[in-house]
Amino acid sequence: MKNKYSIFSLIKNAFSYHENWEKAWKDPEPKKEYDAVIVGGGGHGLATAYYLAKKHNMKNIAVVEKGWIGGGNTGRNTTIIRSNYLWDASAGLYDHALKIWEGLSQELNYNVMFSQRGVMNLAHNLQDVRDLKRRTHANRLNGIDAVYLNTEEVKKFCPIINTSQDIRYPVLGGTLQRRAGTARHDAVAWGYARGADEMGVDIIQNCEVKGIKRNGDTVEGIETTKGFIKTKKIGVVAAGHSSVIANMAGLKLPLESKPLQALVSEPVKPIIDTVVMSNAVHAYVSQSDKGELVIGAGTDDYVSYSQKGSHDIVEGTLNAILELYPIFSRMRMLRQWGGIVDICPDASPIISKTSIKGLYFNCGWGTGGFKATPGSGDLFAHTIANDEPHKLNAAFNINRFVSGDLVDEHGAAAVAH
Amino acid sequence: MFLINCPFCGEREQSEFKAGGEAHIVRPKQPTELSDDEWAEYLFMRKNIKGVQFERWNHVHGCRKWFNMVRDTSNDQIKAVYKMGEKPPVK
């Protein structure tokens, strides 16, 4: 049993200069065999392992990660959490996640710094206005909080926005989801890792998957840089590298992996207390607790695994940011980075069984996977444990690309993918 | 970001081009005779290779012509550029 984090443990450890905190998770070598192996130690993978152990009593499992946990897209995203998606299937999926977020810090005994500061999506033309109003109505029919704001209300909610009607893409209105917000991305991975470790899950870092062993249409195990691991169930949560793992098993996925960039400014005093996103001009901004502006840019349109993006993408985003927030014109940017996102043709994820028995994929989250982390883990764990999808992820099966029953969130989601 | 040697215009910045995805996917001669699986394979399934990949590109802000490229997607290095209909110069 791990020591509970509390104000008392903080005080107690202060007396020993914080040098005697117990390790949050062990660093074991892989066993010969597990009941299930999760490939990918990001937020989604660790959450999957946590819920497999907690809700489905599968404790003899491992998470293998080629680098360090939370070092991929979990540590590279802009931490926005919302559930205001248009289609019923997406609304169900993302609001399931949002409901878990609301109690996650207490459940994990780990402060994930979930902050429901609201997410506002802006409209810049008449079609935006129509689409956002339609989405607001759809959200409310699905029990998701959403309100439509006119230009004055947008200005009142976030006073630094330039609402002049003379700019190139004037603000005509927006939507607001007050339950939406941000969380601390690393803490999510670390909290799930600590919780899973406590229940006996082996978290194996620096262990890259090199091959998937099959006997006909059934999996037998994985070849890794730390040797062969025998298992009957493999859950792949490898984000941008999902296709690489799929190719090892002789499968093809409907994915393209592309660089997505983000950047942060130098830290400043609190200036923006919400998250503002704009689909039409592709700019979104929030402020971290350290004071940095966190800015999300778009994806490049070519396949790349280089974790670098093109400069013109950043330039386009910053142009839009400056027009919407002239107050930021003298800000300097501190860091810029890229992550590799796996995008489905319909911009919706895949949480699914495959044609190979015992091989499961959780991928295709594209540019918006962080918000879904707890829900994705919960539903993927259900799918792996029962060999059947939960009703909330049934629509996100891989066969939708054969049947044509797509969940087309490309134009429908609140922000471009 | 990188430079692309357009077979018609010469070397230009990548931002002048539009990526057109995986190359050499042949359009089925009789689409009506395909099964749903075959149609999905043609329409949606991609190799999405980490490493050397064959791609289509369009010089949208230049000559607006399509051409093929061989590129290493792990480091964005271009191995070869060739015109539509030509055989790839490298394997």
The amino acid at residue A376 is S
The answer to whether A256 contacts B50, with C-beta atoms less than 8 Å apart, is no
pLDDT above 90 coverage of chain A, percent: 95
Confidence of residue A411 (pLDDT cuts 50, 70, 90): low
Smallest CA–CA distance, residue A347 to chain B, in Å, is: 12
- Cβ distance B76 to A304 less than 8 Å, yes or no, reads yes
Going by their DSSP bridges, the two strands A275-278 and A119-123 should be labelled as parallel
Are A37 and A233 contacting, i.e. CB atoms less than 8 angstroms apart? yes
pLDDT at A408 over 60: yes
For residue A65 the two structure tokens come to 């990660």
| Closest chain A C-alpha to B76 CA, distance in angstroms | 7
CA-nearest residue to B16 within chain A is: A312
Q: What is the pLDDT of residue A3?
A: 83
The alpha-helical segments, DSSP class H, found in chain B are: 36-43
pLDDT band for position A282 (cuts 50, 70, 90) = confident
CB contacts, 8 Å: B71 with chain A: 302
Nearest CA in chain A to B53: A303
Nearest by CB to B37, from A300, A305, A402: name it: A402
- Compute the radius of gyration of chain B from its Cα atoms: 15
Mean pLDDT to the nearest integer, A27-42? 97
How high is the ipTM of this complex?
0.95
Three-state DSSP state, B89: coil
Query: Which amino acid is located at A161 in the chain?
Result: I
pLDDT for A412 beyond 60: no
Q: Is A169 exposed, middle or buried (0-12, 13-18, 19+ CB in 10 A)?
A: middle
As a whole number of angstroms, the distance between CA A263 and CA A228 comes to 39
Please give, rounded to a whole number of angstroms, the shortest distance from the CA of A340 to a CA of chain B: 11
Structure confidence at residue A417 (pLDDT)? 45
Residue at token pair 């003298």: A330
B47–A252 C-beta distance less than 8 A: yes
Which residue has tokens 């134009």? A411
Say if CB A302 and CB B22 are below 8 A apart.
Answer: no
Give B-chain residues touching A341 at CB under 8 angstroms.
none
Q: Given a cut of 70, is residue A414 above it in pLDDT? A: no
Report the largest interatomic distance among the alpha carbons of chain A, rounded to a whole angstrom. 67
Beta strand pairing call for A359-363 and A234-236: parallel
Nearest to A362 by CA among A347, A374, A377, A382: A377
The per-residue pLDDT for B91 is 64
Tally of CB atoms within 10 A around A298: 21
Write out A167-188 in H/E/C secondary structure: CCCCCCEEEEECCCEECCHHHH
Q: Locate tokens 């969130």: which residue? A: A409
Res A206 pLDDT > 60: yes
pLDDT of residue A1: 61
Name all domains of chain B by residue range, CATH numbers in brackets. Answer: 3-83 (3.30.2270.10)
pLDDT at A139: 96
pLDDT at A409: 85
pLDDT at A416 over 90: no
- pLDDT at res. A142: 97
d(CA A270, CA A160) in angstroms, rounded, equals 12
- Which residues touch B78 (CB under 8 Å, ≥6 apart)? B2, B4, B5, B69, B70, B71, B72
Which of A288, A266, A263, A265 is closest to A275 using CA atoms?
A: A288
Look at residue A281 in the predicted model and tell me its pLDDT: 86
The verdict on pTM exceeding 0.90 is yes
**pLDDT for the residue B49:** 96
pLDDT at residue A415, rounded to an integer: 53
CA gap A197, A1 in Å, rounded: 10
DSSP secondary structure letter of residue B64: -
Q: Which residues of A127-151 are buried (b: 16+ CB within 10 A; e: fewer)?
A: ebbebbeebbebbeebebbbebbeb
Q: Cβ–Cβ of A345/B19 closer than 8 Å?
A: no
Q: CB-based contact (8 Å) between A312 and chain B?
A: yes
> What's the pLDDT tens digit per position in A365-396?
999 999 999 999 999 999 999 999 999 999 99
Average pLDDT over residues A254-279: 96
8-state DSSP, A357: B
Under 8 Å between Cβ of A37 and A236: no
Which residues neighbour A415 within 8 Å (Cβ) at sequence distance 6 or greater?
A121, A277, A278, A279, A282, A284, A367, A368
Does residue A349 contact residue A365 with C-beta atoms inside 8 Å?
yes
pLDDT confidence of residue A66: 96
Digit-coded pLDDT (tens) for A62-103: 999 999 999 999 999 999 999 999 999 999 999 999 999 999
Q: How far apart are CA A145 and CA A139, in angstroms?
A: 7
| Cα gap A193→A291, rounded to integer Å | 27
Please name the residue of chain B whose CA is at the shortest distance from the CA of residue A341.
B48
Nearest CA in chain A to B20: A302
- Whether A247 has a pLDDT exceeding 60, the answer reads yes
- Report the Cα B16 to chain-centroid distance in Å: 15
Overall average pLDDT of the A263-275 stretch: 97
Looking up tokens 């590129």, which residue turns up? B71
pLDDT value, residue A283 = 87
d(CA A69, CA A308): 20
pLDDT by position in tens, chain B (length 91)? 799 999 999 999 999 999 999 999 999 999 999 999 999 999 999 999 999 999 999 999 999 999 999 999 999 999 999 999 998 887 6
Contact A81, A408 (CB under 8 A): no
